[in-house]
Amino acid sequence: TQLLEQSPQFLSIQEGENLTVYCNSSSVFSSLQWYRQEPGEGPVLLVTVVTGGEVKKLKRLTFQFGDARKDSSLHITAAQPGDTGLYLCAGGWSNDYKLSFGAGTTVTVRA
């Protein structure tokens, strides 16, 4: 059973459209991270959020940590083909700094 549930599992959109990916859990986390993974490569960290209600922006990407620190969302504005990839959320606890990963959302942006 996955501790972190990501939705949707797959997302295909046209270049220029907006998209939102969700990451939900019944557990409370000390931090929530988002990674992007491209085919044949390892995941690369996009952002870490640690405060409930925190919003971080990275160019066209906006990340939000839920008030109760159980969920998060990733919003991409005006998606580009370069945003194509597998987006993984990961929750961590400060007692040991281990991470629990969601199953991921595969995003395809068509030119």
Q: Does 80 bind other proteins (CB under 8 A)?
A: no
Q: Does 88 bind other proteins (CB under 8 A)?
A: yes
Q: Which stretch binds other proteins (CB under 8 A): 13-21, 38-46, 63-71, 73-81?
A: 38-46
Q: What is the 3-state secondary structure (H, E, C) of 8-77?
A: CCEEEEECCCCEEEEEECCCCCCEEEEEEECCCCCCEEEEEECCCCCEEEECCEEEEECCCCCEEEEEEC
Distance CA(38)–CA(28), nearest Å, equals 28
Q: Does 9 bind other proteins (CB under 8 A)?
A: yes
User: Residue 59, Cβ neighbours under 10 Å: how many?
Assistant: 7
Q: Does 10 bind other proteins (CB under 8 A)?
A: no
Task: Give the x/- contact pattern for other proteins in 51-70, rule: CB under 8 A.
Answer: --------------------
Q: Does 102 bind other proteins (CB under 8 A)?
A: yes
Q: Which stretch binds other proteins (CB under 8 A): 14-22, 56-64, 68-76, 85-93?
A: 85-93
